Structure 1
Amino acid sequence: MKATHSTTQHYKQRTRWLPISAVAALLVVAGLTAVLAMGSPSPHKADAGISATGIGATASGATETMSSPPSATPTPAHQTPGDKTPGGKTPGNAAATSQTSAAPAPVHSSSQNAPASSLAGRIQPGVAYQGVATEYSAADGNGACLFGPSGDMMIAAMNELDYQDSEACGAHILVRAANGATVTVLITNECPYPCAPGQLDLSQQAFAKIADPRAGRIPITWQLVSPAAGSAISIRYKVGSSQYWCGIQVIGERNPVARLEVSTGSGWQQLSRSSYNYFLSPSGTGCGRAIRITDIYGQQVTTAAFPVEPDVIQPAQVQFAQH
């Protein structure tokens, strides 16, 4: 408020001295009485014209409108892959700087081929994300998604945030390196902290498709894809399932699964998805009955009723359409 104070004092000084000169001139022409009748500029009017309150409001308004531009979405922090823990999860280097971004940074979006879906989780169709790719020894390909051993080692572990409690399981991801090389991987595993949002931990075999394995980590862009080829969806009941409790897993889906429902005889009941990639019926409702599966695009396929045979892969003879 220093500027406000000095400006007001300046006007007060002018108001105090100008009337003296005016009175001297007017006394010569018409006398003291006439001059007093005409009056001089009021110091209160001068102050009111640019009062401390008025200037203060202007300064305050200027301050309020001069805000900093919004910061750009932070890109995933560089991480160094570390040793893998039992159970399929692949932690990065705990000494690495963690990423504070709440989401993978989008590079561009397109709604021409795959519009964003309200049923999708953090990974939206038609959006390309940027991050880094690291590599790990995937052994037989089994991981946190509990799909079991994989015959195709083009697989990857998704960072914990984008993995979103197993919602990324079964997603097909097209990965592109800065050199233009690409590889499509299936998400079968989770890469917890310090894997950053946007980061993918590729199997060593998949990493070698896009970069020299000695690089260890490279910048990438990646996006969800719907592959053209693929076998039918299969269903598997979890170990311990019965008519009183069951867990149901979807295997081989072309597009990520958004919802699973079981027939109750009088309608459909939606089951909740566990963090270990099974849809659970705690009371046994629908166990052994027909199953209705919805993908992130809203497509629905319905299977026949399957017997509750724990840990047995049962082909369902249905598949989602390509997007």
Structure 2
Amino acid sequence: MHARKSRRFLLPVATVFLACGGCSDDPSGGGAPLGEEQQGIATFYDADGSGNCSYEPTGDLMVAAMNTPQYANSAACGQCVDITGPKGSVRVRIVDRCPECESGHLDLSRQAFARIADMHLGRVDITWTPVSCDVAGNVEYFFKDGSNPWWTAIQVRNHRLPIQKLEWRRGTGGWQDVPRESYNYFVNASGMGDGPFSVRVTAVDGQQLEDTLDSVLDNRGVEGAAQFR
């Protein structure tokens, strides 16, 4: 049995743009592409919904930690995965990283593991496939605690599809990439100013959402105007 404890290290929206840009051969950024079946193993740990993806604990414990190679510097965060084991199937959301797990390995919550195998087994062979999440409402932009006009960290939440990148711009200027950190925030070390400013989020299949935000918040979120298809 693999038992590790969970780790942790509104504004008006003006515009929306939905498009499919040029998709790369591996849009996952090195993770597991949508719809591509994976072979691996499952273990379990004492999950509470928090972890390396910087989400808060949740009452929905159908969650898992992704192995480090397919975590892809947090690109797997928020991704949904269908898992089939010897006893049954379950859908989980990726909320954490398993640093010691090799490619193909998923570390599940106890509740999720019980859906696919008997608990006493502790470690079982599985197949798993990344899928779109069944979410309600639009995407959310959550600003990390400490964010301000001179240092801005944004996390995309409530997304149907894994997020490939986030860009920002002021006015009609050019789009600028915002680097992604392993703890699942896009961080602009120079800040985004007082606002308003626009953000553009690209999903792994090339779809894009564009929103205009009024200002930088501190440890608060704002709902976007649309959701990925």
Q: TM-score, normalised by structure 2?
A: 0.86
Deviation at 1:212, TM superposition (A): 1.7
1:314 corresponds in structure 2 to 222
1:284 corresponds in structure 2 to 191
Deviation at 1:286, TM superposition (A): 6.1
Q: Structure 1's 83 and 227: CA in aligned 2 closer, same or farther, altered over 3 A?
A: closer
Q: Deviations over 1:58-83 (max 9, x none)?
A: xxxxxxxxxxxxxxxxxxxxxx5143
Q: Structure 1's 117 and 229: CA in aligned 2 closer, same or farther, altered over 3 A?
A: farther
Range 292-301 or range 281-290, more displaced: 281-290
1:154 corresponds in structure 2 to 62
2:12 corresponds in structure 1 to none
CA contact (8 A) 2:81 2:92 kept: yes
Which of 167, 172, 187 aligns to 2:80? It is 172
Query: SS in structure 2 opposite 1:253?
Result: coil
CA contact (8 A) 1:116 1:125 kept: no
1:144 corresponds in structure 2 to 52
CA contact (8 A) 1:237 1:308 kept: yes
Query: SS in structure 2 opposite 1:284?
Result: coil
Deviation at 1:273, TM superposition (A): 0.4
1:189 corresponds in structure 2 to 96
What amino acid is aligned across from residue 176 of structure 2 in structure 1? Answer: Q
Which of 233, 243, 249 aligns to 2:155? It is 249
Which of 133, 149, 162 aligns to 2:42? It is 133
State how far apart, in whole Å, the 1-side matches of 2:99 and 2:168 are. Answer: 32
Give the 5 Å matches for 1:25-104: 80-84=1-5, 86-87=7-8
Deviation at 1:84, TM superposition (A): 2.7
2:176 corresponds in structure 1 to 269
Structure 2 residue runs of 5 or longer lacking an equivalent are: 10-22
Q: Structure 1's 225 and 282: CA in aligned 2 closer, same or farther, altered over 3 A?
A: same
CA contact (8 A) 1:301 1:320 kept: yes
2:15 corresponds in structure 1 to none
CA contact (8 A) 1:246 1:287 kept: no
Deviation at 1:284, TM superposition (A): 1.3
Which of 219, 232, 243 aligns to 2:138? It is 232
State how far apart, in whole Å, the 2-side matches of 1:243 and 1:123 are. Answer: 35
CA contact (8 A) 1:156 1:185 kept: yes
State how far apart, in whole Å, the 2-side matches of 1:84 and 1:227 are. Answer: 25
What amino acid is aligned across from residue 268 of structure 1 in structure 2? Answer: W
State how far apart, in whole Å, the 1-side matches of 2:116 and 2:194 are. Answer: 43
What amino acid is aligned across from residue 201 of structure 1 in structure 2? Answer: D
Structure 1 residue runs of 5 or longer lacking an equivalent are: 1-79, 89-114
- Structure with the higher strand share, 1 or 2: 2
Deviation at 1:211, TM superposition (A): 1.5
2:32 corresponds in structure 1 to 123
Q: Deviations over 1:28-53 (max 9, x none)?
A: xxxxxxxxxxxxxxxxxxxxxxxxxx
Larger Rg: 1
1:305 corresponds in structure 2 to 213
Deviation at 1:175, TM superposition (A): 0.6
Q: Deviations over 1:53-109 (max 9, x none)?
A: xxxxxxxxxxxxxxxxxxxxxxxxxxx514336537xxxxxxxxxxxxxxxxxxxxx
Q: Structure 1's 161 and 287: CA in aligned 2 closer, same or farther, altered over 3 A?
A: farther
* Count of matched residue pairs: 213
CA contact (8 A) 2:79 2:133 kept: no
Deviation at 1:213, TM superposition (A): 1.7
Higher relative contact order (CA 8 A, sep 6+): 2
Deviation at 1:134, TM superposition (A): 0.5
State how far apart, in whole Å, the 1-side matches of 2:25 and 2:113 are. Answer: 29
Q: TM-score, normalised by structure 1?
A: 0.62
Deviation at 1:310, TM superposition (A): 1.3
CA contact (8 A) 2:5 2:47 kept: no
State how far apart, in whole Å, the 2-side matches of 1:205 and 1:85 are. Answer: 14
CA contact (8 A) 1:170 1:187 kept: yes
Q: Structure 1's 157 and 134: CA in aligned 2 closer, same or farther, altered over 3 A?
A: same
CA contact (8 A) 1:158 1:191 kept: yes
